[in-house]
Copies of this chain bind each other. A is one copy, B any other.
Amino acid sequence: MDKESLYRKISLENDNKMIMIILDGLGGLPVNQKTELETAKKSNLNQLASESELGLALPISMGITPGSGPAHLALFGYNPLRYSIGRGILEALGVGIKVEKDDIAIRGNFATQENGIITDRRAGRISSKKNREIIAYLDEKINWIEDVKIKLFSGEEHRFVLLLRGGGLSDDVTDADPEVTDKPILYSKAKSPQAERTAKILNKFIIRVTEELSGQKPVNTCLLRGTARYPSIPSMQELFRLKTAAIASYPMYRGLAQLVGMDILDTGSTIREEVKTLKKHYTEYNFFFIHIKKTDSYGEDGDFNNKVKTIEEFDKILPEILKLNPQTLVITSDHSTPSTMKSHSWHPNPLLIKSPYNRLNPWKPESFSETECARGVLGRFYSIDILPLMMAHALKFKKYGA
């Protein structure tokens, strides 16, 4: 029996509340012997850590730096090497498009060609405003190709998303992108017979765009990449019998939560507004995923101080969450984003879990930090095990076997 079958078998419904708070990119590396988390003044988090089980969670596997897609799948209890979310779908989620089951999503670049030769793969990185104008124009001109509905969405600068809606399509096609300049417009090829029609639709789209924008500068053609179908992932309701809600302000994370069947709650974007949303809907669900983005954004910017301040901001609001007294509370991250690296990293995530069924740590932890979590009672484990552990602490798993 694989673990997914096990979880289906032993999950039960009850009203106990579980809250998973993800401080995106929380983990860091030391500067003057202290990480961002260790530098932050955070008496509430430290107090909570002293009463919680601590550990370090590996997102995927030793040494693997995850993107947001696989890192969140693991947090939601899904094997991130079994389920993958194609680039086109991720891009669509990031732009905030509501993707439907049979949809095919593709990342597009507006580009420049001369006599059929690509001279700029990004059309001089046009402004997002210009992008929206072109998309509005094309959206009026191109509605259908054969019996496939064409939907277009602006991204930042030269990027856009193309959505194909209509049955019988496949994502088993090559990229229509020469990858370097001074090469001819490249068309997509089917990698299997059942993808022939999709490749044809994509290529007709490129030809239509090139015709419609003929004579324009710098945007007069497009490249299409990362063709992906909506992934087939069982919902958290199916797998864990949970009534799930996501509180996240960034489109990407709202989209990822939607992929596993969560209700996406309307929310403001500050931590305070997210907590307000939690309180408002607290009686309606028994699992809440709360996503806080700024820790990661500041990490990516290399802004150690503002990452510290974001942690401090969260710490101030934490008592309001604790007042709700959830049965199981987890505070952790999807991956580390050390300010010193200005990027995601492979280092495991500090984690605390609080419930009425906690064991004590080998030492009384003085703070919530990477180093304290490294000697916590939970040790090092994989992020994919966080949700099952929460289920257990919320008494939502039956005994396995007699």
- A residues near B (Cβ < 8 Å) are 1-3, 6, 10, 29-30, 33, 35, 56, 60-71, 80-82, 84-85, 87, 90-91, 338, 341, 343-347, 357-363, 370-372, 374-375, 377-381, 385, 388-393, 397-402
Contacts and interface: CB of A to CB of B under 8 A. Distances in A.
Contacts of A357: 29, 338, 341, 345, 347
Given A84-B1, A359-B371, A63 B401 contact: no
Nearest to A371: B362
A332 to B, nearest CB: 14
A91 to B, nearest CB: 8
Given A62-B388, A62-B392, A362-B371, 9 more contacts: A6-B81, A30-B359, A30-B360, A65-B400, A343-B399, A345-B357, A346-B392, A347-B359, A362-B372
**How many copies of this chain are found per oligomer?**
2
A358 B371 CA distance: 12
Interface of A is mostly: loop
- Top 3 A-B pairs, shortest CB-CB distance: A63-B388, A62-B385, A63-B392
Contacts of A388: 61-64
A63 B397 contact: yes
26 contacts: A2-B81, A29-B358, A30-B359, A35-B359, A61-B388, A63-B389, A63-B391, A63-B393, A65-B397, A65-B400, A66-B400, A68-B401, A68-B402, A69-B401, A70-B400, A80-B400, A87-B402, A338-B357, A359-B370, A361-B374, A362-B374, A371-B377, A374-B379, A375-B375, A378-B380, A379-B380
A25 to B, nearest CB: 13
B375 A371 contact: no
Nearest to A358: B29
A33 B82 CA distance: 41
B80 A401 contact: yes
B402 A375 contact: no
Nearest to A68: B402
A388 B60 CA distance: 12
Contacts of A397: 63-65, 346
A92 B33 CA distance: 50
Contacts of A64: 6, 10, 388, 392, 397, 400
Given A29-B357, A346-B392, A362-B372, A385 B63 contact: yes
A84 B401 contact: yes
A45 to B, nearest CB: 18
Contact of A402 (B90, B363, B378): B90
A346 B391 CA distance: 11
